[in-house]
Amino acid sequence: MCLTLARAAPVAAVCWFFAATPATVDAQHADTVTDTLRLDLAAARRIGLASSPVLQAAQAGVASALGTRRQAGAYLFNPNVELKLSSLIDPGDLGKFEGILTQEFEWAGQWGLRKSAAEYGVAVAEGSANEVARRTVLAIDAAFFQAVVAAHRLEVRMLGLDLTDRFQEAVRIQAREGKASTLEVNIAQIEFGRARAAERGARSALRVALVELARTIGLPPDRPIVTVDAAPGGPDPRALDPDSLLVLALATRPDLRAIEAAMARAEANRRLVSREAIPNLRVAAVATRGAVGEEVLWGLRFGFLVPLWNANGGLSDQWRGEAERAQAQRDAIELAVRADITSALEVYRSAWDELEAFERDVRRPARANQQLLQTAYDAGRMDLPTVMLLRTQLLEAELGYWDAWLSERMALASLQAAVGEIEDGPTSGR
């Protein structure tokens, strides 16, 4: 894929952009005890592409186009044999016969144009199938990342529940020792109830996300799945050159390849129907004998149809219109590709910056505070409201980080889909 941009500059960042392929985990590597399928992104893609009914329908269209191409390579006109035996009608004509072998020939290049149109038809079907695969991959990526984030959000909620439980127990102990008020006990109890409800909601959200992931990749909804993160994260968007990405997109986007093939097919069909207005040549070898014992006479006959009533003018106009329509669609798709690359790269840059800032300025300090919370409270150096505030900040920092992570992952997936890359893809961890 990098070689396709060998003449574009700069391309080093683009090549690295698509170089990393996440480690694969196949279905046969599932846990043999629990039958839990451990999926990374590459395995989810592979299973989803293999089971997608929409993609299977598109691939059936390719098979149909291949059959059309094969048929187009067969010559349309078989030889025609005629034999006239007069003796079957009049016994006095015993031995009299006439035999004719006729072959019709296309001599204006129709056969080659027919094969060319069928070849372009295969390219249209293949481009359409690849476009379905591109969109399917993006849907799989979205479902996979949603499931990954749902799993991490559950981990955060479980952490919050554990912290709140320990704080509640500490408040109860202090209340028995006369160091905490009933109000503080009630606050701790309320916070514990809220944390437990949030944990249950996160657990339910994870189940829903896994069911959606299973549906997207074509697995039963009750199949146990565990998503496996992969590292490293995506490339620094500052190293990505938009012009190189655009060149790559214009060279590889399957919807562009399909519509360009449709343009060529329409033009080939237009030329074909114009040539079909030229009459085919009919050549016949004739053998005749007047009676038994007479010499057999050999001769040739030539003929052609006169296109008096039908010269394929309507069909020619039809295919000319198809070519013009395909050209307009191609122009529209190219405009969309240019807009997709520009907007997707901008969204990715913004999401990347947000994730970097969240990790540096929010998540790391909050995690550092996590180690101090329980110790400080137990030592009496921090009151309960402050502890609850810091705990909330910690949880919000973790949840906010995974929201930013999801935005960055989705932005990178959208950028890669806009470029048209469907074999390798964004990794699922950072």
Cross-strand bridge partners of residue 80 = 102
Number of alpha helices (DSSP H) and beta strands (DSSP E) in the chain: 10, 6
Peptide bond into 232 cis (omega under 30): yes
Are residues 65 and 58 in contact, defined by beta-carbon separation less than 8 angstroms? no
CA–centroid distance for 190 within its chain: 47
Q: Where are the domains of the chain?
A: 21-78+107-278+335-419
Distance (Å, rounded) from C-alpha 214 to C-alpha 51?
A: 11
Q: Residue 126 is which amino acid?
A: E
Q: What would the DSSP string read from start to end of 255-275?
A: HHHHHHHHHHHHHHHHHHHHH
Q: Residue 337 is which amino acid?
A: V
How many C-beta neighbours within 10 Å does residue 158 have?
Answer: 15
Are residues 288 and 98 in contact, defined by beta-carbon separation less than 8 angstroms? yes
| DSSP element (H, E) containing 97 | strand 97-105
Q: Counting Cβ atoms within 10 Å, is residue 145 exposed (0-12), middle (13-18) or buried (19+)?
A: buried
| Residue-level pLDDT, tens digit, the chain, 430 residues | 333 333 232 233 333 333 333 333 333 333 434 588 999 999 999 999 999 888 999 999 999 999 999 988 888 889 999 988 776 566 666 678 889 999 989 888 888 899 999 999 999 999 999 999 999 999 999 999 999 999 999 999 998 888 888 878 877 887 888 877 788 788 888 888 988 999 999 999 999 999 999 999 999 988 899 998 765 567 888 889 999 999 999 998 999 999 999 999 999 988 888 888 888 899 999 998 877 778 888 999 998 887 777 777 787 888 889 888 889 999 999 999 999 999 999 999 999 999 999 888 888 888 777 666 656 656 666 666 777 777 788 888 889 999 999 999 999 999 999 998 644 333 333 4
Are residues 406 and 347 in contact, defined by beta-carbon separation less than 8 angstroms? no
Instruction: Find all residues with CB under 8 Å of 240, minimum gap 6, and list them.
Output: 13, 14, 17, 345
Count how many Cα atoms sit within 13 Å of the Cα of residue 314 in the half-sphere of its side chain: 2
- Dihedral (CA of 213, 215, 219, 220) sign: positive
| DSSP element (H, E) containing 253 | none
Distance (Å, rounded) from C-alpha 419 to C-alpha 13?
A: 14
Q: What would the DSSP string read from start to end of 289-300?
A: ESSTTSPPEEEE
Rounded to the nearest 10 degrees, the angle between the axes of helix 110-176 and helix 41-51 is 130
Are residues 252 and 244 in contact, defined by beta-carbon separation less than 8 angstroms? no
Q: What would the DSSP string read from start to end of 185-221?
A: HHHHHHHHHHHHHHHHHHHHHHHHHHHHHHHHHT--T
Q: Is CATH 3.90.1150.10 the right assignment for the domain spanning 21-78+107-278+335-419?
A: no
Can you tell me whether residue 282 is helix, strand or coil? Answer: strand
